Structure 1
Amino acid sequence: MDAGQARDETVDVSDELFAHLPSGLDLCHQTFGDPQDESVLLIMGLGGPMTWWPAEFCELLARRGFHVIRFDNRDTGRSTKLRHHRVSRSDVVKAFLGRGTAPYGIDDLADDAAGLLDHLSVDAAHVVGVSMGGMIAQTLAVEHADRVRSLTSIMSTTGRRKVGWIHPRVVRTMLAQAGRTRPEFAEVSVQNGKVLGSPAFPTDDDVAYARALETYDRGWIGSGVLRHMMAVLTQSDRTERLGVISVPTQVIHGSKDLLVHRSGGRATADAIRGATLLEIAGMGHDLPAQLYETFADAIVATAARAR
């Protein structure tokens, strides 16, 4: 059966395993579907473990004929935490103003993703990234072009400060304390989700609360989120570099995204030759369950263009 055609059989799901990279980092990862199928690499965004790519969505893609890989970026979930790199909120504010350096950058995170593909003996994958994960995916397509079959960049941007800006009232949300206890963390996460989420596609509070508890239990650390923020805020403008991407590219953005303004998606699509742009009315900065089929259709169609 060709990739893109829905399958009815049960999806094979691997245990969570660890890839030990030459850099010394361990990346926790999990796969769905048949390893003989073309691979889709899912890259999550700032502070998010791989479970923010819900198993339901991964299985949906696997039933469409793909071998799906999700993983915890460094400083998230069960992957290596770089606690020795101390970052404060004042450092983040300085970076927001264009000053300071980060412990690591988007290029390093893209190297991690390439290292994971090496570990899994995957020559090339259809790469999908959301938010910071979109920045990583774009960089992977530039710096490791032979590893990317197609690119789907969701609610992300090019690194140019004049596009994809954060709404002023969201800055306080991003820098606020996440809670001192597990229940407090979950409550704060639910409230933040209401600020950043999709007005037209709301998430049930109970679902959001359970997801937050899972995030906390997987090994959430506030300092890791700050290091991710530093990587995003100190990234270079990729606009010119994106012009070298030749693989089929789909850009997806929401009209109500307060964390990364939709101008970031438009700039990404403009910078990559042949890229198509899908703007979704009422979508904010999240992956609503109501849109899983829409996202899957876009990924499948982009992968088909690569053939």
Structure 2
Amino acid sequence: MATPAPSALLVRSGPVHLWTEGSGAPPSPTVLLIMGTAAPAAGWPDELVELLAANGRHVIRFDHRDTGRSTHLDFAAHPYALADLAADALAVLDGHRIAAAHVVGASLGGAVGQWLAVHRPERVRTLTAIMTGPMGHDPGPAWARALSGQAADPDDLPPPSADFLAHLAHRAALPQRTRAEYITANLETWRVLSGPVLPFDEPAARHFVATSFDRSPDHRAALNHDLAGRRLTADRLAPLSGITAPTLVLHGTEDPLRPLPHGRALAEAIPHARFHPVPGMGHSFFSPGLPRRLAELLLDHTAERRT
């Protein structure tokens, strides 16, 4: 039987409307894909989504608030935190009439997934956290030490790589006023984030960056995710030991933003979590063959024998 064509649905979460897309069809097990900082639904590779849908999964991805075709906010007037992004994810499930899903989060989306698994466990069938760390960890001190030239604190999780920090300093001086300037600056960022080992899929990255720009009325609003991510509210400090959903932690061995110990620390904090380092992967999906490799891991983790 042919896989149904993807269908879009606009759902409401409090003051915002969220653009969502479903692939495959219920009553197949639902996989909810939650993107990372400043990234809309298009951050999930089409190949990954199509492979999941073709293998019996109902896949939902969505544009975060302040990205893509979802509502953009004035953060100063309407600040939000991780709990609000988690509420958005729940609203997406409600809009699609899904009681519980296999939750898959990348980077900041992985922290959203942890929040759901801790505070709304009845909505999480399994959890997969990709390229992320414990939601209650404050990376600020490690960044501050690295940026000031101090040695890393051996008792803290490591800061981003020196190459990535150098790129941020370089990028700060790059203009992003026009579409072409935005694509140039962001394409270089994804090249660095992808790490030095696996080949960089520049056409895929360029398509994502261009799509992100074209679908957003104000691409600068996505920077609000950084502000939300830094807010260490009390709900983020809840112990991860309370997570009961079967958990898989996927982390690239070459991640320049969140080095491998971040993923290992997350897996160690969650009872019975499986930690799977992905050789050569950085902090992106932009490498030929990588979306398929990740899809295969997700299909295994979300198989009914695990639920």
TM-score (norm 2): 0.85
CA displacement, residues 153-208 of structure 1 (integer Å, 9 cap, x when unaligned):
00001131332633354346457256111111111122111211133322332332
Q: 1:104 to 1:189 in 2, by over 3 A?
A: same
2:116 matched residue in structure 1: 140
1:262 matched residue in structure 2: 260
* 1:292 to partner: Cα distance: 2.0
CA displacement, residues 252-306 of structure 1 (integer Å, 9 cap, x when unaligned):
1011111112211011100110000011221110013412232122222222353
Q: 1:72 to 1:81 in 2, by over 3 A?
A: same
Q: 1:138 to 1:289 in 2, by over 3 A?
A: farther
Matched letter for residue 269 of structure 1: A
Alignment of 1:107-126 (within 5 A): 107-126=83-102
CA displacement, residues 87-130 of structure 1 (integer Å, 9 cap, x when unaligned):
9xxxxxxxxxxxxxx92111110111011111111000000000
1:157–1:164 CA contact under 8 A, matched in 2: no
Q: Does 1:80 align with 2:71?
A: yes
Q: 1:234 to 1:157 in 2, by over 3 A?
A: same
| Partner Cα separation in structure 1 for residue 237 and residue 274 of structure 2 | 16
Alignment of 1:222-233 (within 5 A): 222-233=219-230
Segments of 5+ residues of structure 2 without an aligned counterpart are: 139-155
* Greater alpha carbon shift after TM alignment, 52-61 vs 67-76: 52-61
2:51 matched residue in structure 1: 60
Match of 2:42 among 25, 44, 51: 51
2:197–2:254 CA contact under 8 A, matched in 1: no
Alignment of 1:158-307 (within 5 A): 158=134, 159-161=136-138, 162-163=156-157, 165-171=159-165, 173-174=167-168, 176=172, 179-219=176-216, 221-236=218-233, 238=236, 240-287=238-285, 288-304=287-303, 305-307=305-307
* 1:224 to partner: Cα distance: 2.3
CA displacement, residues 194-241 of structure 1 (integer Å, 9 cap, x when unaligned):
211133322332332222111110106344232101122223585652
Q: Does 1:39 align with 2:36?
A: no
| Partner Cα separation in structure 1 for residue 207 and residue 46 of structure 2 | 14
Matched letter for residue 25 of structure 2: D
* 1:12 to partner: Cα distance: 1.3
Match of 1:15 among 2, 7, 17: 7
| Partner Cα separation in structure 1 for residue 253 and residue 162 of structure 2 | 17
2:105 matched residue in structure 1: 129
- Root-mean-square deviation over aligned CA pairs: 2.1
* 1:137 to partner: Cα distance: 0.8
Helix, strand or coil at the partner of 1:150: strand
Helix, strand or coil at the partner of 1:70: strand
Matched letter for residue 249 of structure 1: T
1:165–1:264 CA contact under 8 A, matched in 2: no
| Partner Cα separation in structure 1 for residue 175 and residue 240 of structure 2 | 35
Matched letter for residue 234 of structure 1: R
* Greater alpha carbon shift after TM alignment, 178-187 vs 120-129: 178-187
Q: 1:218 to 1:153 in 2, by over 3 A?
A: same
